[in-house]
């Protein structure tokens, strides 16, 4: 039978795998080889829309055509690894695929399987169809799978699945492992390759109650095979210890910790790995360190642990953040000191390392223990301990001085730490100089948006078009447009995006089409924005949020670029935060007047919105007043009026929407969220002004909002000197970092701190939420923003309602009041907040941190959330540093409570410091 592409393709698109296989099996080998080029051309030229079909996706049949016609393993692998076919490996009918290969008597089937195995995913692939397909090819070709991360990942997931493809219950895991042909080859790699333990941890997905039954428990299965002699105990224990020593992410280490516990190593086995356990105690993750501490203590109780190993390891362990582990280490060392009186001095010097622990209760425990031994310690040892005690904090240095018989430190002798003034935002990079450089920046913009990059691209497109004409831009930009059609082609999902507007502008520059529906829609949107001052709604798909201003400006370029040879944009900022120097704008408008051109309307409005709030130099004001063009007169009037008035920003609380059973609906799952309402303080003004400064939050919290994800810098640069407005727009997204554990928007806070303008309830609340974000990089961003604001000269808060203090309060105190409110009912977890405040204190913002703490503590002392003792401990450290003597409402009552809980102890410690 002669092979014909149209016939084969028709069957492929109908999902007729059996028919395609028959065509290939009934053809001669010569016809198959001759048909190979047609198959390659057909696959490469297939309509992109066919790949999105579900039941009739042609990719599985195309794969049959590849194995039935390819001349070599290399050619077959190249075609099968094309993106469209690669996504469908799991759908390939393996029996028919191998039947075609068998009919051809291919000697390179194993080579093909090995080539395909290199493309197996290494993470997050719980559909093992790809593994099954690839290994079936290798097995049919008579080769063993290579020990690569993708192969081991696929094998492990296939092994761990407790249900078969048709939902049937599989035999217990130890049985599956015992019978698996690749166990000896691939199991060692599970211990050796980083991250594979996470596959074991996640293997409980799909199990009842989210946990594997004992029959499918990986550690239990390994121990079972060890017990029956199928696996060597010594090898497995060594592999487990090596894995724990090397470390990994916590969820990837968990199964190996459990396996270690189920193996229950003997004293002899632990002693043989004593140095490995010592390294785990010093450097391992918390659960691993706890495991090693228990193991080493077992060996020490048996008298088989070298004291030098214990002391060296103990010194490092005493500075770990896990306080339970540190306390256990101190108790262990105390026991050793009693057991080894001749070396007690060395032990106590090791315990003194805990003087440097960040937690006051750990410092105090170590000092109290050593203090009991002072009468029995020699003068030289006491002197060394006194030197070590210099790192103690709070009231402990004075106690140590009394114990060791040295002079007490003078309070406040080192002075209150302060922060240097902020350096301010950097200058913008130099403008793009060539069409080739512009093409590079456009590609970079596709991979990572930034406000600075957007400004440089828009400015260069206009400038290079006026300077170099169409030719150079067409040569450089046409390949970019062709390479990234998905970004630059309009669809229902991206019609209002700045990328579509930019693409339209580029098309107008390099090869203006006679009819462009997108260009017509943008023309309408720009007209509506000018006539009605509106983005969004009828005749405008541009976003009505602040980020829509960028799309509007790109649309303005697309609409007007061919109608005038505009030599430049006037809104391009001079600093990376979006600020525009008034002298630079004067220079640009003076040039426009001299050359006889007018800046585009929204380009000019954006320029005016970027002018700083500081007094304008007299020479700039005089120069603006001398301009006679329409743009020049508007600039002069703007300066004379003081620019854009501050909007009215008011706090607003959103409450979750409850269902009949009392729970929260899926789209409003947060009990409450603090937001802000914006209103412009005047009627009229710029056409951009009203939408930018008008915001009415929804009644309910939004589920995982992401309006500004990835464009935080774009948002901040629209109104760089009215940061309160930007904070209000993004507040829901920022809040979701704390109350819905999202990540990313925290990077907005340092950008807003680099701006100017009053700090109102939106920015204060945004900073409070970011301190409580789940992700550490977001919390670090809160610290950066806090330090920048603390270093500024006396920023004040203009809020008048809600939990934020009244007019004139310091920003830090206002943040503290909001934190007290949010943490008192668990809306924000206090445990996430404390480390960031400690970092700010260590960085020199102690005064601001104290203002925050004194505002937050009254409400927190009444609510008593978890981690309140940690916050009180931090307050004690800050109070000692700045010599504070403030009265904190509720602290005296808490300190007077009976009992010895840590909360009471920390309250008493702070109270004693604050009481003269």
Q: Is the pLDDT of residue 896 over 60?
A: yes
Q: At what angle do helices 307-317 and 344-351 cross, to 10 degrees?
A: 20
Q: Which helix (H) or strand (E) holds 300?
A: helix 286-301
pLDDT digits (tens, 9 = 90+) for 427-455: 999 999 999 999 999 999 999 999 999 99
Sign of CA dihedral 43, 47, 52, 58: negative
Question: What token pair was written down for 325?
Answer: 């582990």
Mapped onto helix, strand or coil, the DSSP state of residue 860 is: helix
Decide: residue 581, CB within 10 A, 0-12 exposed, 13-18 middle, 19+ buried.
middle
Say which residue the tokens 């009991």 belong to: 372
Q: What is the pLDDT of residue 487?
A: 78
Rounded to whole angstroms, the Cα distance separating 397 from 391 reads: 8
Instruction: Write the pLDDT tens digit of every residue in 834-847.
Output: 999 999 999 999 99
Q: Give yes or no for residue 45 having a pLDDT over 90.
A: no
Cα–Cα distances (Å) from 148 to 153, 170, 664, in that order, read: 8, 26, 46
The pLDDT mean for the chain works out to 89
Residues 137, 92 contacting (CB under 8 angstroms): no
Residue whose token pair is 């390891």: 313
Residue 774 corresponds to which tokens in the numbers above?
Answer: 């789940």
Longest dimension (CA), the chain: 104
Single pTM value for the model:
0.79
pLDDT (tens digit per residue) in 345-358: 999 999 999 999 98
pLDDT for 500: 92
Give the count of beta carbons closer than 10 Å to the beta carbon of residue 682: 12
Closest CA to 603 of 628, 575, 627, 634: 634
Give the tokens for residue 151: 């192969």
In the prediction, which pLDDT does 668 show?
Answer: 62
pLDDT digits (tens, 9 = 90+) for 228-250: 999 999 999 999 999 999 999 88
pLDDT of residue 683: 86
Residue 208 pLDDT? 43
Q: Encoding tokens for residue 324?
A: 């339970």
CA-closest candidate to residue 261, choices 247, 244, 278, 246 = 244
Q: What's the pLDDT score for residue 806?
A: 36
Query: Which pLDDT score is estimated for 164?
Result: 67
User: Domain locations in the chain?
Assistant: 1-104, 298-407, 435-641, 648-831+844-853
Confidence grade of residue 206 (pLDDT, cut at 50, 70, 90):
very low
Mean of the pLDDT values across residues 211-217? 58
Confidence at residue 803, expressed as pLDDT on a 0 to 100 scale = 42
| pLDDT for the residue 135 | 87
509 falls in which pLDDT band (50, 70, 90)?
confident
Q: Is the pLDDT of residue 669 over 80?
A: no
The tally of CA atoms less than 13 A away on the side-chain side of residue 645 is 13
Torsional sign, CA 572, 573, 578, 582: negative
- Residues 780-823 pLDDT 10s: 999 999 999 999 854 445 443 444 433 337 899 999 999 999 99
Q: What is the pLDDT of residue 808?
A: 38
Q: What percent of the chain has pLDDT over 90?
A: 64
How far apart, in whole angstroms, are the C-alpha atoms of residue 434 and residue 447? 20
Percent of the residues in the chain that have a pLDDT greater than 70, as a whole number: 92
User: Mean pLDDT highest for which of 16-25, 81-90, 686-695?
Assistant: 686-695
What's the CA gap between 448 and 454, in Å, rounded?
10
Report pLDDT digits (tens) over 620-655: 999 999 999 999 999 999 999 999 999 999 999 999
Using 50, 70 and 90 to split pLDDT, how confident is the model at 516?
confident
Could you give the CA distance from residue 620 to residue 583 in angstroms, rounded to a whole number? 6
Task: Choose among 292, 263, 295: nearest CA to 279.
Answer: 292
524-570 pLDDT, tens digit per residue, is 999 999 999 999 989 899 999 999 999 999 999 999 988 777 899 99
Instruction: Report pLDDT for 165.
Output: 64
What tokens appear for 55 in the block?
A: 């039941």
776: tokens are: 């550490």
């Amino acid at each position: 039978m002669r092979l014909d592409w149209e016939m084969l393709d028709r069957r492929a698109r109908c999902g007729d795998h059996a028919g395609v296989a028959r065509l290939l099996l009934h053809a001669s080998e010569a016809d198959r080889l001759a048909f190979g080029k047609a198959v390659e051309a057909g696959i490469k030229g297939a309509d992109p829309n066919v790949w999105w079909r579900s039941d009739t996706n042609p990719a599985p049949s195309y794969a049959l055509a590849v194995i039935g016609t390819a001349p070599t393993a290399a050619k077959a692998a190249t075609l099968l690894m094309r993106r469209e076919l690669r996504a469908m490996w799991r759908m390939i009918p393996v029996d028919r695929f191998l039947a075609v290969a068998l009919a051809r008597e291919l000697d390179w089937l194993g080579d093909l399987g090995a080539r395909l195995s290199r493309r197996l995913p290494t993470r997050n692939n719980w559909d093992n169809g790809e593994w099954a397909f690839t290994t079936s090819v290798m097995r049919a070709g008579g080769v063993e799978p290579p020990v690569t991360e993708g192969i081991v990942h696929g094998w492990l997931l296939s092994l761990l699945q407790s249900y078969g493809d048709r939902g049937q219950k599989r035999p217990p895991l130890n049985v599956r492992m015992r019978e698996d042909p690749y166990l000896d080859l691939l199991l060692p790699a599970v211990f050796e390759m980083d991250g594979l333990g996470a596959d074991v941890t996640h293997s409980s997905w799909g199990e009842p109650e989210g946990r594997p039954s004992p029959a499918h428990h990986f550690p239990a299965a390994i121990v079972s095979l060890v017990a029956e002699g199928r696996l060597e105990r010594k090898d497995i224990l060594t592999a487990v210890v090596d894995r724990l020593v090397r470390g990994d992410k916590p969820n990837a280490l968990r199964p190996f910790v459990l396996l270690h516990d189920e193996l229950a190593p003997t004293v002899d086995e632990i002693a043989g790995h004593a140095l490995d356990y010592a390294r785990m105690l010093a450097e391992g993750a918390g659960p691993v360190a706890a495991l090693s501490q228990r193991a080493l203590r077992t060996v020490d109780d048996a008298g088989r642990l070298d004291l030098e190993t214990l002391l060296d390891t103990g010194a490092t362990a005493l500075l770990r953040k896990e306080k339970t582990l540190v306390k256990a280490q101190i108790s262990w060392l105390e026991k050793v000191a009693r057991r080894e009186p001749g070396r007690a001095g060395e032990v106590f010097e090791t315990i003194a390392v805990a003087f440097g622990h960040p937690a006051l209760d750990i410092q105090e425990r170590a000092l109290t223990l050593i203090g009991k031994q002072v009468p029995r310690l020699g003068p030289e040892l006491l002197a060394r301990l006194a030197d070590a005690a210099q790192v103690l904090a709070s009231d402990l240095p004075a106690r140590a001085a009394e114990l060791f018989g040295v002079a007490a430190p003078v309070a406040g002798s080192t002075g209150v730490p302060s922060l240097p003034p902020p350096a301010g935002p950097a200058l913008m990079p130099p403008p793009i100089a060539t069409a080739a450089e512009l093409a590079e920046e456009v590609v970079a913009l596709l991979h990572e948006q930034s406000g600075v990059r957007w400004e440089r691209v828009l400015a260069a497109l206009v400038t290079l078009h006026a300077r170099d004409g169409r030719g150079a831009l067409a040569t450089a930009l046409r390949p970019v447009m062709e390479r990234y059609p998905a970004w630059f082609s309009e669809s229902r999902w991206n019609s209002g995006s700045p990328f579509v507007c930019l693409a339209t502008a580029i098309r107008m520059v390099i090869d203006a089409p006679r009819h462009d529906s997108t260009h017509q829609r943008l023309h309408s949107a720009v007209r509506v924005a000018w006539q009605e001052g509106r983005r969004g709604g009828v005749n405008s798909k541009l976003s009505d949020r602040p980020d829509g201003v960028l799309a509007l400006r790109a649309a303005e370029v697309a609409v007007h670029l061919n109608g005038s040879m505009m030599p430049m944009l006037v809104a391009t900022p001079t600093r990376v935060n979006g600020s525009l120097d008034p002298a630079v704008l004067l220079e640009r408008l003076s040039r426009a007047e001299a050359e006889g051109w007018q800046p585009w309307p929204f380009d000019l409005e954006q320029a005016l919105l970027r002018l700083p709030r500081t007094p304008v130099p007299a020479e700039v004001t005089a120069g603006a007043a001398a301009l006679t063009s329409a743009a020049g007169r508007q600039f002069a009037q703007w300066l004379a009026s003081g620019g854009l008035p501050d909007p009215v920003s008011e706090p607003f609380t959103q409450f979750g929407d409850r269902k009949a059973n009392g729970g929260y609906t899926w789209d409003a799952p947060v009990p409450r969220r603090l937001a802000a309402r914006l209103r412009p303080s005047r009627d009229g003004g710029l056409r951009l002004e009203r939408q930018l400064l008008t915001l009415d939050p929804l009644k309910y919290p939004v589920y995982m909002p992401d309006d500004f994800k990835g464009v935080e810098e774009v948002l901040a640069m629209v109104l760089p000197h009215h940061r309160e407005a930007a904070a209000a727009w993004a507040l829901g997204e920022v809040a979701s970092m704390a109350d819905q554990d999202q990540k990313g928007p925290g990077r907005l806070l340092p950008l807003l701190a680099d701006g100017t303008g009053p700090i109102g309830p939106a920015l204060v609340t945004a900073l409070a939420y970011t301190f409580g974000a789940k992700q550490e990089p977001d919390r670090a961003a809160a610290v950066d923003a806090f330090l920048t604001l603390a270093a500024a000269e006396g920023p004040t808060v203009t809020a008048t309602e809600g939990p934020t203090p009244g007019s004139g309060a310091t920003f830090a105190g206002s943040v503290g009041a909001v934190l007290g409110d949010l943490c008192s009912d668990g809306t924000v977890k206090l445990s996430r907040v404390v480390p960031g405040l400690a970092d700010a204190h260590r960085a020199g913002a102690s005064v601001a941190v104290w203002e925050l703490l004194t505002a937050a503590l009254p409400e927190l002392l009444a609510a008593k959330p978890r981690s309140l003792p940690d916050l009180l401990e931090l307050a004690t450290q800050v109070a000692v540093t700045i010599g504070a003597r403030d009265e904190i409402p509720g602290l005296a009552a808490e300190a007077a409570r009976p009992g010895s809980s840590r909360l009471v102890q920390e309250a008493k410690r702070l109270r004693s410091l604050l009481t003269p």
